[in-house]
Amino acid sequence: MRLSIVIVNWNSRDDLRACLASLAAQIHRDLEIIVVDNGSTDGSVSMAAAEFPASRVLAQSDNLGFAEGCNRGIAVSTGDWVAMLNNDCVAEPGWAEALVDAAARAPASCGMLQSLMLFLDRPGTINSTGSELTALGSGRDRHRDRPWPNDDSKRPAAIFCPTAGAAAYRRTMLEQIQLSTGYFDRAHFMYFEDLDLGWRARLAGWDAFYVPDSVVRHRWHGSTDRLGASWLAVLSGINRVRTQLKNASPSLIARTSPVTLVETLEIARHAGLDGLRRLQNAVQESLAVRKEVAKISRVDRRSVERAWTTW
pTM of the model: 0.96
**Over the stretch 75-125, which tens digit does the pLDDT of each residue have?**
999 999 999 999 999 999 999 999 999 999 999 999 999 999 999 999 999
**Over the stretch 9-23, which tens digit does the pLDDT of each residue have?**
999 999 999 999 999
pLDDT of residue 103: 98
State how far the Cα of 4 lies from the Cα of 168, in Å rounded to an integer: 9
pLDDT of residue 220: 75
pLDDT of residue 222: 52
**214 contacts: CB under 8 Å, gap ≥ 6:** 94, 95, 96, 98, 99, 102, 113, 115, 116, 166
Can you name the residues that pair with 93 across neighbouring β-strands?
A: none
pLDDT of residue 225: 64
DSSP 27: S
Can you name the residues that pair with 298 across neighbouring β-strands?
A: none
**Which residues of the chain, if any, have pLDDT below 50?**
none
pLDDT of residue 255: 96
What mean pLDDT, rounded, does the chain reach?
A: 96
CA angle, 163 then 40 then 217, to 5°:
35
Percent of the chain with pLDDT over 90: 95
Residues in the chain, how many?
Answer: 311
List every span in the chain annotated with CATH 3.90.550.10: 3-224
3-224 sits in which CATH class?
alpha beta
